[in-house]
């Protein structure tokens, strides 16, 4: 009951509606507020419905073979999500750089860095938003270095997927 009540209060506050709570349950005013949130009802929250239009989605940028890095966007843009699957027995990091190209091995300055387990996967997701803004470009790198601030390639390869605009 407490969990359900908390969700109703959160949803009601989210759409700016008043909530009345009674000792034995939820008042009819709170129930009406939830009914108004149904798709197609006036006074509800933002409803994102399915769309057959290709323009309504984000086309993913994906690896075509095992690789250690991938330029997701060679111009300024927004990163919505990225993930990598490590195809090796060596752990490392998935780093995202504000870059239009893949840098050589050595020191790097990542804007994102997450541990990538051996034979595992990891992802970053900014959904529902806002996305991360990159002023130069968006490049994902899988590195086997011991820190996020060094790029070492040639050891880890994997599958990389990104959603950018």
What is the per-residue pLDDT across 22-47, written as a single tens digit (0 to 9) for each? 334 444 444 444 444 444 544 556 66
How many whole angstroms separate alpha carbon 153 and alpha carbon 140? 12
What is the per-residue pLDDT across 108-129, written as a single tens digit (0 to 9) for each? 999 999 999 999 999 999 988 8
Q: What is this structure's pTM?
A: 0.69
Reply yes or no on whether the pLDDT at 8 is more than 50: no
Determine what percent of the chain is predicted with pLDDT higher than 90: 61
The DSSP secondary-structure symbol of 101 reads S
What is the average pLDDT score of the chain? 79
The H or E element containing residue 10 is: helix 2-14
């Amino acid at each position: 009951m407490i969990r359900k009540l908390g969700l109703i209060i959160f949803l009601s506050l989210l759409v700016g509606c008043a909530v009345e709570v009674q000792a034995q349950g939820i008042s009819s005013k709170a129930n009406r507020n939830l009914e108004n949130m149904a798709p197609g009802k006036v006074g509800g929250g933002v409803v994102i419905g399915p769309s057959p239009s290709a323009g309504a989605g984000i086309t993913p940028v994906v690896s075509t073979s095992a690789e250690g890095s991938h330029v997701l966007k060679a111009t300024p843009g927004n990163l919505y999500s990225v993930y990598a699957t490590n195809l090796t027995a060596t752990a490392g990091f998935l780093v995202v750089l504000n870059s239009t190209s893949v840098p050589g091995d050595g020191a790097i300055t990542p804007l994102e860095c997450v541990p990538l387990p051996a034979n595992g996967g990891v992802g970053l997701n900014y959904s529902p938003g806002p996305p991360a803004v990159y002023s130069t470009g968006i490049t994902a790198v899988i590195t086997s270095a011991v820190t996020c601030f060094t790029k070492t390639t040639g050891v880890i390869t994997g599958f990389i997927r990104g959603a950018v605009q």
